[in-house]
Amino acid sequence: MHAKRYFTLSASCPDRVGIIARVSGFVAEHKGWILESSYHSDDDNDSNGASRYFMRLEVKADSLPFHLAEFRERFRPIAEEMQMTWKISDSAVKKRVVIFVSKQEHCLYDLLARWQSKELDIEIPCIISNHDTFKGFVEWHGIPFHHVPVNPDNKEAAYAEMHRLFEEVKGDTMVLARYMQIIPPAMCAAYPGQIINIHHSFLPSFVGAKPYHQAYQRGVKLIGATCHYVTSELDQGPIIEQDVIRIDHSDSVEDMVRYGKDIEKAVLARGLRYHLEDRVLAHGNKTVVFR
């Protein structure tokens, strides 16, 4: 990440000749200074039978004669011409991340440590949990804590309250830091590409509950963790980041859980960073990640 302020343009569109020239030409026309650029053409055809093109550009903010809002309006005709799915963000505006947690603390602790050290330069307007286990710990950090119990009789009301809280604090991203509840389809639909989960398995293997136990019973030699976007289909959303560690026959389930916690923390932190820096472009159930 650059020390100076920059605008990030990320986009995808049907592949064709002249995309880079059109976009970089627009930047050059306004004396813009491109700090970083990444491109990828995906040969898998979309629903219209065309290949898909993906791009990400960082432009030095003070090299342009206008601010973000005008950048967005001036670029819009090009985006429409190219049939782009696109967005432009400002590095000076911190993303607002709401963390959801249950009783597993390791991912929460890791994210707060990275936030406190400014390794993750974000705002955390609140933390939501279905248990009050970490209330004191969270409030010690000066972050509002909301205990929203979830049980079979109150799920609709509980998720309505979570939705309300997220909107109230103007959240940008929800992070499920080992939040052990299934997000309802209505909330998934309301926030596509804004809910990030860490699953303690190398998906698509061992979805759902107790994946380490499933892996132990299967006798696998590698276990892992997966950071992915949440969709209405359990543990099947577009994958952002993954990692694995080797195990053998002598490792117990408890050993695997212990090893896995380290992988989960690292994978979630990397995946969240890629998302916050607009390095992840989702298309269908796949992602392009410009590291």
Active site members: 235
The answer to whether 54 and 76 are in contact (CB under 8 A) is: no
The answer to whether 187 and 163 are in contact (CB under 8 A) is: yes
115's CB contacts (< 8 A; 6+ apart) are 122, 124
DSSP string computed for the chain: --SS-EEEEEEEEE--TTHHHHHHHHHHHTT--EEEEEEEEE-S--TTS--EEEEEEEEEGGGSSS-HHHHHHHHHHHHHHTT-EEEEEETTS--BEEEEE-S--HHHHHHHHHHHTTSS--B---EEESSSTTHHHHHHTT--EEE----TTTHHHHHHHHHHHHHHTT-SEEEESS--SPPPHHHHHHSTTTEEEEESS-TTSS-SS-HHHHHHHHT-SEEEEEEEE--SSTT-SPEEEEEEEE--TT--HHHHHHHHHHHHHHHHHHHHHHHHTT-EEEETTEEEE--
